[in-house]
């Protein structure tokens, strides 16, 4: 039996066992019978902070509490090194450490996220990681992507498995997710087609002028598509992948491009620095802003009634966090001057600023859009945190080596804002690891299992049943984990 290309994609998606769809999908189906389960509903943006983020300098102990954390912090992270002074933290203070009562604050450059925190849209998870930490970037990233601390399960990603569940029984060749880096990460490995690209303007199917002018453009594209179908139907694994990717390109790309042309203009404006997006003020020329702008454009394109696109899950990365050296501390230079001079002495602070600006601008864009408002959750993660004690001479060249636990952010609509019953409850969760009570390698002891965060997201935000969520997480039952968070109701 020969499949057509579309049938093949459908068939490959149907290979994973269909389970009961959450009510949100059925409601959407009823409202617009032509929509695919993949093609509407809520959105999720996963931000990978790449290289191992120094979480201690993102959510910072402001006072001791019973954990003695500020005192220990000042001992091992020195002024002139990577120390963020307690005195600079007043404006970004959040709730106390739930376990040890010490005061906590976001990095002083995270004023945008502090505003989201105050508004009840930001949940801060402290001390998140997994048992038997691995300090390799690659291994630990894979553990996070697969939600598999022992790397003993299937090689698929936790989101790949989630998509296989959500999109099972789909009726078209919807592509429900985009990895906004050029290369596909294992997060999405599974049976469901996922796009990977970082710029909308690259999305045009190329046909030479000579062929176009001779009126043969359509014939050329047809030949190309048929050849891809042949590979999908009969080729070896790699050929199938190339064929399927080629098909998706020829099929979907022009639709993406057209539907988002207006937004692509905005994207260019952002790139040139002529259009600050979301929040007024500092122009956002850095790549995370551009990527999130692309995500925004794609989310717009995926709205019901305008759905050639069908994306709702996005992975976005921001690199540069492997701060073994020259990590920087905090200077009192006004922020505008810092922006102009690229944050001398505050390398990690600059990255914190970029995350803050980009996320709050993206959030503001989503809020300003009548149809997207209340549909979107953002979660951050990093493959690991960093060593508690700074390395080197306790000077401007000091950095931190690989570590373990780190905080995670989840941003989303609170009660009354969400389009579905589930919503974010802002606040501080987990427990801040005791900085003077480390493991044998000088690293923090994790407090909250990362699969718990995934579990709430999969079950409560994406609406997968608790049973299936448990199976997606390799039989880890987040509901029975005593260190629960409940940041999503």
Partner 1 sequence: MADITPADWNYQTAAHLLLRAGFGHSGRYKKSTGEATQVRRLANLTPEKAVASLLTMGTSKVRGPGSLDTGDDKFATLQLWWLNRMITGLHPLREKMVLFLHTHFATARSKVTKPLYMSTQNALFRELALGDFRELVKRVTVDAAMLWWLDGYLNKNGKPNENYARELQELFTLGVFDFNNQRNYAQKDVTEAARVLTGWRFLEDKGKVVVEFRNTRHDHGEKFIYQSQAGETTQNAANLIHIVTNFTPPENEYAALVDGIFTHLDTEGQPTAARFLARKLWKFFAYDPVVTTDTARTDLGVIDALANVLVTSNYSLGAALNAMFLREEFYADATRTVKGPTEFVVGSVRMLRGKLGGSTRENVGQDLLANMGQELLNPPDVFSWRGNLSWITTQTMLLRYNFASDLAAGDKSRNSDVGHNVSSFLDPHATTRAQVVDRFLTLLCVFDIDTATRNELIQWLGPDDSALDLGNPDYVETQVRGLLSLILTLPLYHVH
Whether 460 and 139 have beta carbons less than 8 Å apart is answered as: no
Helix (H) or strand (E) holding 74: helix 69-76
- Cα→Cα distances 470→259, 476, 478, Å: 37, 5, 7
Residue spans of alpha helices (H) in 77-166: 111-118, 137-146, 158-166
Structure tokens at 316: 């976005």
- Cα→Cα distances 127→76, 322, 324, 453, Å: 18, 19, 21, 12
Phi-psi region of 385 (alpha: psi -120 to 50; beta: other; left: phi over 0): beta
Calculate helix-pair angle for 111-118, 347-368, nearest 10 degrees.
50
- Tell me how far apart the alpha carbons of residues 185 and 450 are, in angstroms, rounded to a whole number: 18
Pairing assessment for the beta strands 122-129 and 104-106 based on DSSP bridges: unpaired
- Tell me how far apart the alpha carbons of residues 363 and 43 are, in angstroms, rounded to a whole number: 12
- Tell me how far apart the alpha carbons of residues 360 and 471 are, in angstroms, rounded to a whole number: 34
Residue 50 sits at the vertex; the CA angle it makes with 49 and 54, to the nearest 5 degrees, is 70
**HSE-CB of 313 using CA atoms within 13 angstroms:** 24
- Cα→Cα distances 230→13, 174, 222, 249, 373, Å: 19, 20, 12, 15, 43
With a CB cutoff of 8 Å and minimum separation 6, the contacts of 277 are 266, 270, 284, 289, 293, 361, 365
Strand order, beta sheet including 93-94 = 59-61, 104-106, 93-94
Whether 164 and 191 have beta carbons less than 8 Å apart is answered as: yes
Binding residues (CB under 8 A) for partner 1: these are 50-51, 134-139, 142, 151-152, 155, 179, 182-184, 195-199, 202-211, 214, 216, 219-220, 223-224, 226-228, 230-231, 234-236, 238-239, 241-243, 245-246, 248-249, 252-253, 319, 322, 324-325, 391-393, 397, 399, 401-402, 441
Pairing assessment for the beta strands 43-49 and 376-382 based on DSSP bridges: parallel
Q: How distant is the alpha carbon of residue 456 from its chain centre?
A: 15
Whether 39 and 307 have beta carbons less than 8 Å apart is answered as: yes
Q: Which is nearer to partner 1, 30 or 138 (CB)?
A: 138
- Tell me how far apart the alpha carbons of residues 448 and 452 are, in angstroms, rounded to a whole number: 7
Q: What are the backbone dihedrals phi and psi of residue 316, each rounded to the nearest 5 degrees, phi first?
A: -130, 140
């Amino acid at each position: 039996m020969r499949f057509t290309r579309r049938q093949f994609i459908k068939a490959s998606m149907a290979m994973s066992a269909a389970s009961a769809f959450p009510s949100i999908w059925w409601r959407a189906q009823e409202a617009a019978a032509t929509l695919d389960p993949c093609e509407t509903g809520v959105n999720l943006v996963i931000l990978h902070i790449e290289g191992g983020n120094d979480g201690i300098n993102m959510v910072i102990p402001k006072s001791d509490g019973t954990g003695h954390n500020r005192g220990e912090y000042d001992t091992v992270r020195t002024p002139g090194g990577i120390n963020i002074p307690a005195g600079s933290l007043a404006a970004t203070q959040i709730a106390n450490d739930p376990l040890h009562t010490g005061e906590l604050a976001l990095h002083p450059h995270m004023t945008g996220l502090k505003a989201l925190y105050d508004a009840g849209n930001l949940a801060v998870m402290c001390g998140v990681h997994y048992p038997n930490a691995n300090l390799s970037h690659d291994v630990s990233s894979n553990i996070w992507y697969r939600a598999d601390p022992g790397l003993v399960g299937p090689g698929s990603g936790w989101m790949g498995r989630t998509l296989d569940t959500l999109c099972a029984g789909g009726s078209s060749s919807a592509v429900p997710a985009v990895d906004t880096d050029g290369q596909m990460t294992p997060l999405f490995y599974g049976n469901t087609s996922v796009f990977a690209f970082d710029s909308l303007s690259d999305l045009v199917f190329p046909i030479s002028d000579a062929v176009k002018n001779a009126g043969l453009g359509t014939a050329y594209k047809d030949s190309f598509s048929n050849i891809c179908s042949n590979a999908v139907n009969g080729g070896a694994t790699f050929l199938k992948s190339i064929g399927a990717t080629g098909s998706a390109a020829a099929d979907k790309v022009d639709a993406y491009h057209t539907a988002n042309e207006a937004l692509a203009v905005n994207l260019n404006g952002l790139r040139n620095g002529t259009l600050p997006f979301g929040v007024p003020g500092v122009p956002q020329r850095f790549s995370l802003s551009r990527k999130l702008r692309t995500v925004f454009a794609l989310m717009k394109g995926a709205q019901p009634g305008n759905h050639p696109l069908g994306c709702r899950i996005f992975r976005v990365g921001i690199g540069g966090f492997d701060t073994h050296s020259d990590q920087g501390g905090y200077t009192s230079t006004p922020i505008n001057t810092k922006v102009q001079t690229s944050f001398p002495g505050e390398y990690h602070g600059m990255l914190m600023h970029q995350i803050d600006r980009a996320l709050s601008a993206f959030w503001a864009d989503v809020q300003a859009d009548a149809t997207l408002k209340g549909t979107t959750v953002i979660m951050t993660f990093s493959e690991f945190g960093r060593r508690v004690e700074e390395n080197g001479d306790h000077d401007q060249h000091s950095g931190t080596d690989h570590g373990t636990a780190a905080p995670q952010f989840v941003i989303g609509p609170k009660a009354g804002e969400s389009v579905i019953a589930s919503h974010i409850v802002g606040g501080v969760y987990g427990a801040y690891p005791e900085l003077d009570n480390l493991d044998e390698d000088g690293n923090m002891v994790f407090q909250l299992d990362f699969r718990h965060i995934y579990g709430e997201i999969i079950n409560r935000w994406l609406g997968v049943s608790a049973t299936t969520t448990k199976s997606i997480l390799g039989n880890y039952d987040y509901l029975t984990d005593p260190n629960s968070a409940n940041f999503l109701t």
